[in-house]
Homo-oligomer: A and B are copies of this chain.
Amino acid sequence: MSSEDDPRRQDRRAFLTRAATLTALAASAPQGRAEASVLRPKDVEPFFGAHQGGIVTPIQRHVYFAAFDLSTERPEEVTELLRAWTAAAARMTVAEPAQPLAAPLQRVGRDVSAQKSAGAYEAGAQKFQPSVLSADTADALGLSPARLTVTFGFGSTLFVQDGRDRFGLAARRPAALIDLPKFPGDQLVEEHTGGDLSVQACAEDAQVAFHAVRQLARIADNVARIRWVQTGFLPNSPGHATPRNLMGFKDGTNNPPISDPAAMAKFVWVGDEGPNWMHGGTYLIARRIRIALEHWDRMNVAFQEQTLGREKYSGAPLGRKREFDSLNLDAADASGNPLIAENAHVRLAAAASNEGARILRRPYSYNDGVNFTTERWPPWRQGMEYDAGLFFLAYQRDPRTGFIKIYERMSRFDMLNQFVTHVGGGLFACPGGVRPGQFAGQGLFEST
């Protein structure tokens, strides 16, 4: 184990980084903390470090995820954006406003559209002043940072879009950042798919997570715009209990342990096989998976358990007793039929079924209300149905040997597929961790 991977060293480094962040920020914006209580260490996740936060960070209860498209053609505005985003994200993880409140917001790029309209508009008694934007929208003022993490990623279109090398980065596109294949059953819709840049904001407070993305969107407005967003949440499970998803099953039981640096190095972190700027980075697969909850809810529990391959209430693999008992894929009943069906979800997802492939899931539920649906199953009802399901986030060292490897068979055979539809998502290369003084992904833009 290298010193890099020693968890005690990581803890100590995290502590020092956090202390450094606080010290560096302390002088810059005291007024923003006018009503903030003293930061409790347990409310702060380190922003700087060998890896980005929000990946092996113990999962927070809320996520606000946003994919952005760049509207600029200038490479220097992309780096300027990442520099500004990095600074703002670091501040917000310690409950500082995105920028010091004493001055107006500093945005990236040329303020063309705003200048055009200046003075042309009166709002109430006062002139519209587009040049005086407040540094922060203040909706998180006084709140705990709530373990906020902000995780940046790069989509393939940052490198090449419609065959065009937009920013001179085409030659630097990592081999692992492939164009995702279309899987059987995929119904990905444009307005929930892809994007040049990704921002995953996780926190224990939904308002803190949204606040973070909103500030980054304001800073970016002249050079990048939101393409799609997704909120997600988890229940407040007692202790370290595995959270249940909206299907009522425990979700995440068989994740590789985030407390095991060797497992993370093997399955999550990019090593020497990747470009320098991806060392300590990882690849994010995001999938918006709508679940036909009304249909699922009409299945009896025994059938649900066969579909998943686990007991619903205990979480134990079929044929075993306890949640964390290992899968026994060879177990058979008296007739010689497998206890865990050939097309059961856990069998198809298991490392043993995929030549050892594993991914690190951060699975959130999403709940986007209801919309009109005509059912494709008995009793063929029509009406409002939940637009709810799983916002599946998974990190891996290489998507070709991670999600794609696993999902190629699952997308064809998994019994669960009759209840779920993948309706959006993306693949993003998340660069390695950020050192103080640098910005996220800086290595990508530096001459080698």
Residues of A within 8 A of B (CB): 34-35, 37, 64, 113-114, 116-117, 120-121, 123-126, 128-130, 132-134, 137-144, 146, 191, 204-208, 210, 214, 218, 225-231, 233-238, 241, 244-249, 293, 297-304, 306-307, 312-313, 341, 343, 365, 367-370, 372, 377-381, 383-384, 386, 388, 415, 418
Contacts of A304 in B (CB 8 A): 134
Establish whether residues A141 and B300, one from each chain, have CB atoms under 8 Å apart when the complex forms. Answer: no
Of all chain B residues, the one with the shortest Cβ separation from A136 is B248
Please list the 6 inter-chain residue pairs (A to B) with the smallest Cβ-Cβ separation, ordered nearest first.
A117-B378, A138-B248, A113-B379, A207-B235, A132-B300, A139-B248
A114, A208, A229, A302 — most chain B CB neighbours (10 Å): A229
Contacts of A146 in B (CB 8 A): 236
Establish whether residues A214 and B142, one from each chain, have CB atoms under 8 Å apart when the complex forms. Answer: no
Q: What is the CB-to-nearest-CB distance from A362 to chain B, in angstroms, rounded to a whole number?
A: 16
Contacts of A386 in B (CB 8 A): 214
Query: Which one, B204, B228, B370, B381, contacts A370 given CB within 8 A?
Result: B228
Establish whether residues B141 and A244, one from each chain, have CB atoms under 8 Å apart when the complex forms. Answer: yes
Q: What is the CB-to-nearest-CB distance from A166 to chain B, in angstroms, rounded to a whole number?
A: 19
Q: Tell me how many chains of this kind the complex includes.
A: 2
Q: How far apart are the CA atoms of A373 and B383 in the complex, in Å?
A: 26
Q: What is the CB-to-nearest-CB distance from A237 to chain B, in angstroms, rounded to a whole number?
A: 7
Establish whether residues A124 and B343, one from each chain, have CB atoms under 8 Å apart when the complex forms. Answer: yes
Contacts of A298 in B (CB 8 A): 114, 128, 130, 133
Establish whether residues B142 and A384, one from each chain, have CB atoms under 8 Å apart when the complex forms. Answer: no
Establish whether residues A143 and B370, one from each chain, have CB atoms under 8 Å apart when the complex forms. Answer: no
Establish whether residues A384 and B227, one from each chain, have CB atoms under 8 Å apart when the complex forms. Answer: yes
Cross-chain pairs A/B with CB under 8 angstroms, 6 sampled: A124-B341, A143-B238, A191-B384, A207-B365, A218-B297, A226-B383
Q: How far apart are the CA atoms of A229 and B34 in the complex, in Å?
A: 37
Contacts of A191 in B (CB 8 A): 372, 384
Q: How far apart are the CA atoms of A384 and B214 in the complex, in Å?
A: 13
Q: What is the CB-to-nearest-CB distance from A143 to chain B, in angstroms, rounded to a whole number?
A: 5
Establish whether residues B113 and A313, one from each chain, have CB atoms under 8 Å apart when the complex forms. Answer: no
Establish whether residues B378 and A231, one from each chain, have CB atoms under 8 Å apart when the complex forms. Answer: no
Establish whether residues A244 and B313, one from each chain, have CB atoms under 8 Å apart when the complex forms. Answer: no
Q: How far apart are the CA atoms of A1 and B395 in the complex, in Å?
A: 61
A225-B369 CB under 8 A given contacts A123-B303, A130-B379, A306-B126: no
A139-B244 CB under 8 A given contacts A229-B369, A367-B210: yes
A231-B297 CB under 8 A given contacts A141-B244, A246-B139: no
Contacts of A299 in B (CB 8 A): 123, 128
Contacts of A418 in B (CB 8 A): 123-124
Establish whether residues A303 and B384, one from each chain, have CB atoms under 8 Å apart when the complex forms. Answer: no
Q: How far apart are the CA atoms of A343 and B343 in the complex, in Å?
A: 64
Q: How far apart are the CA atoms of A244 and B97 in the complex, in Å?
A: 15
Q: How far apart are the CA atoms of A130 and B378 in the complex, in Å?
A: 9
Contacts of A139 in B (CB 8 A): 235, 244-248
Contacts of A249 in B (CB 8 A): 138
Establish whether residues A368 and B365, one from each chain, have CB atoms under 8 Å apart when the complex forms. Answer: no
11 additional A-B pairs beyond A143-B236, A143-B244, A229-B384, beta carbons within 8 Å, are: A37-B238, A113-B379, A124-B418, A129-B303, A134-B297, A134-B304, A139-B248, A142-B238, A144-B236, A207-B234, A229-B370
Query: Which one, B114, B227, B379, contacts A379 given CB within 8 A?
Result: B114
